[in-house]
Amino acid sequence: MRKTFALLTKILLPLSLIALTGCHGSKGLPSFEVPETFDESKEYNITFWAKNDTNITQANIYNQAIKDFEELYPNIHVNMRLYTDYGRIYNDVITNISTRTTPNVCITYPDHIATYLTGANTVVPLDALMADSRYGLKGSSLKYEAPGDIVPKFAEEVKLSGISYAIPYMRSTEACYVNKTMVEKLGYTLPDTLTWDFVWEVSEKAMEKDSDGNFKINGQKVMIPFIYKSTDNMMIQMMRQKNAGFSDEEGNILLFNDTAKELLEEIAVHAGTGSFSTFKISSYPGNFLNAGQCIFAIDSTAGATWMGPHATNHDISEDKLVDFDMVVTRIPQFDTSNPVMISQGPSICVFNKEDPEEVLASWLFAQYMITSDIQIAYSSTEGYIPVTEKALNDPSYLDYLSKEGIDNDLHYGPKIKASKLLIDNIDRTFITPVFNGSASLRDAAGQLIESTTKSMRRKETVDDAYFTKLYKDTRSLYHLDSVSKANTDGSEKKEFAPLPLTSKILLFALLFTWVGIGAFYLRGVIKKAYGKNNHK
């Protein structure tokens, strides 16, 4: 029996140690320290995962930036992989964290970084690099003109628990692209600041049909007066305008409240009449707008080149385009005296590696992407704005802005108007708190609107019981009852779901083993003492 027990101990002890080690997860990378020197005789191959908006000019700017950077730093080679979907980048990064094959530099959103941070030392905190006198934002040892300060509001957006885990790359907001011609044809005057009530009222008015079943306003069979591209943003901004809870810095989910329900009830009314729809249900707002089948199209300012009868880009055939006066204005508001809107846009994060000099090489490239020439070139492709003070005040950028509408290409009026909309409202922008799970919360917010809209279109009963079930189902679908919370020190505080049975059995086995080992040891000690006593 003793031999059996000793054998079991020998087998189970190392196994339990392995299991316990496993519980703590794999060992992370060492935390990054800015190296004293940068060895320019050493070759570095860095990977850059980027996203463009199916816009060849943007891809070309990336390519040119890489070429120029490699000429400045011939020992750093940048391999770019382009995506058209942030979700895919996010999933690929998550997959590669476990195998330590993350890219070096990645275009991303803070919501995503919060999840990347669950891996130990995965994402490089950038504060020390940004402040570094040699290689930082005002660095003296850079081979390119230092980018200078980031617009404070944008710099704050990439901080998680007070630490900068990214640098902003481009910023945009949402705009309402309005067919002013139709608004006036319906007997209304477009206000300086749209209200939700105004948009709903005009939209309902536009649903009137003639005896042939055509919409009176456009003489067509199709008319969706109000289409929203991102319902995530729609719910987030409506909630913010109402000062209603969405989430907080502690990662508490506040979305599922009575204000959200009231908003959904209003949306349901207009979804039911067909005067409101979404991108996911019907397609791009810009396509309907340009075909004279939509009056209020809400989309990113970064989509401005697709908006309007003279848009630089469009997906519908020329014969479907209609001519109209378009106004680019702020999204609708509940309180016109205090308009607020979301700030969005890509940021750049740097992933940690074993070699700190490789990280420094990555940083040098990441930072190069926010130098003025690249910022101005990229922001001019769409209704983005640069993120540095230097680029925003650069004479060439100011000149670009001043040429609004002189052509329908680089100076396409609605695109520059969209940029100015954000520049004029930077202080009125906001972001939602970032934590591990905030990306899911965003999706859930949009899903509430998508589900309600679909249900109304499908003639389902949408009442109190419906919303109770919708809240419950959405919480469950997006796992919002088990999101982790970010502590102020950047560490993760997790709320766990109940342990699965297998884990409980393993833990019980471990406990049993340790108790057994203890008992065995104690037995030996007692016996030894007893034996000694006997010798006396």
Partner 1 sequence: MKKLTALVLAVVFALSLTACGGEKGMTYAEYTAAAVDSEVTVDVYVQATQSWWDNKITVYAADKDGGYFIYNMECSEEDSKKLTPGTKIQVKGHKGEWAGEVEVVDGTFTLLSGKSFIAEAKDVTDKLGTDEIANFQNQLVSFKDMTVESVSYKNDQPGDDIYVTLSKDGNNYDFCLEYYLNGSDEAFYNLVGGLTAGQTVDVEGYLYWYEGLNPHITKVTVK
Q: Note the residues at the interface with partner 1 (CB under 8 A).
A: 52, 54, 56, 59-60, 81-84, 281-284, 287, 315-317, 320, 454, 457-459
Shortest reach from residue 103's CB to partner 1, in Å: 14
Nearer to partner 1, 157 or 450 (CB): 450
| Contact of 20 with 510, CB cutoff 8 Å | yes
Q: Is 279 helix (H, G, I), strand (E, B) or coil?
A: helix
Q: Residue 309 or residue 339: which is nearer to partner 1 going by CB? A: 309
Shortest distance (Å) from residue 236 CB to partner 1: 22
**Are 432 and 247 in contact, with CB atoms under 8 Å apart?**
yes
Q: How far is the CB of 45 from partner 1 (least distance, A)?
A: 18
Closer CB to partner 1, residue 186 or residue 281?
Answer: 281
**Comparison of 305 and 367: residue with beta carbon closer to partner 1:** 305
What Cα–Cα distance (Å) separates residue 80 from each residue in 49, 84, 106, 107?
6, 13, 10, 11
Q: What is the DSSP letter of 81?
A: E
What count of Cα atoms within 13 Å lies in the side-chain half-sphere of residue 64?
Answer: 11
Alpha carbon distance 414, 327 (integer Å): 8
Q: Which is nearer to partner 1, 9 or 283 (CB)?
A: 283
Phi, psi of 57 (to 5 degrees): -60, -40
Q: Closest approach of Cβ 231 to partner 1, in Å?
A: 15
Query: What element of type H or E holds 55?
Result: none
Please report how the helices 464-477 and 438-457 are oriented relative to each other, as an axis angle in degrees rounded to 10.
140
Residue 23 neighbours by CB under 8 Å, 6+ apart: none
The letter for the amino acid at 393 is N
Q: Smallest distance, Å, CB 63 to partner 1?
A: 8
> Rounded to the nearest whole angstrom, what is the least distance from the CB of residue 82 to partner 1 in the complex?
4
Least distance to partner 1, CB of residue 320, Å: 8
Nearer to partner 1, 27 or 458 (CB): 458
**Closest approach of partner 1 to the CB of residue 279, in Å:** 9
Min separation Cβ 230 and partner 1, Å = 16
What is the phi/psi pair of residue 112, to 5°?
-75, -40
Closest distance of CB 287 from partner 1, Å: 6
Backbone conformation region of residue 294, classed left if phi is above 0, alpha if psi is from -120 to 50, else beta: beta
Query: Considering the complex, what minimum distance in angstroms separates the CB of residue 109 from partner 1?
Result: 18
Q: What is the Cα–Cα distance from 254 to 438, expressed in whole angstroms? A: 12
Q: Tell me if residue 243 falls in helix, strand or coil.
A: coil
The rounded distance, in Å, linking the Cα atoms of 301 and 290 is 16
DSSP 3-state percent helix, strand, coil across the chain (nearest 5): 45, 15, 40
* Angstrom distance (rounded) from CA 462 to CA 466: 5
How far, in Å, CA of 126 to CA of 359, rounded? 11
- Give the integer Cα–Cα distance in Å for 293 and 284: 12
In single-letter form, the type of residue at position 390 comes to: K
* Closer to partner 1 by Cβ: residue 246 or 284: 284
| Closer residue to partner 1 (CB): 60 or 273 | 60
Nearer to partner 1, 82 or 186 (CB): 82
Question: In angstroms, what is the minimal distance from the CB of 353 to partner 1?
Answer: 24
Q: Which string of DSSP letters, residue by residue, matches 400-454?
A: HHHTTTSSSSTT-HHHHHHHHHHHTTGGGEE-----TTHHHHHHHHHHHHHHHHH
Q: Which residue, 87 or 191, is less far from partner 1 as judged by CB? A: 87
Alpha-carbon gap, residue 404 to 410, rounded angstroms: 9
Nearest residue (CB) to partner 1, 84 versus 140: 84
- Cβ atoms within 10 A of the Cβ of 257, count? 14
Which residue, 75 or 84, is less far from partner 1 as judged by CB? 84
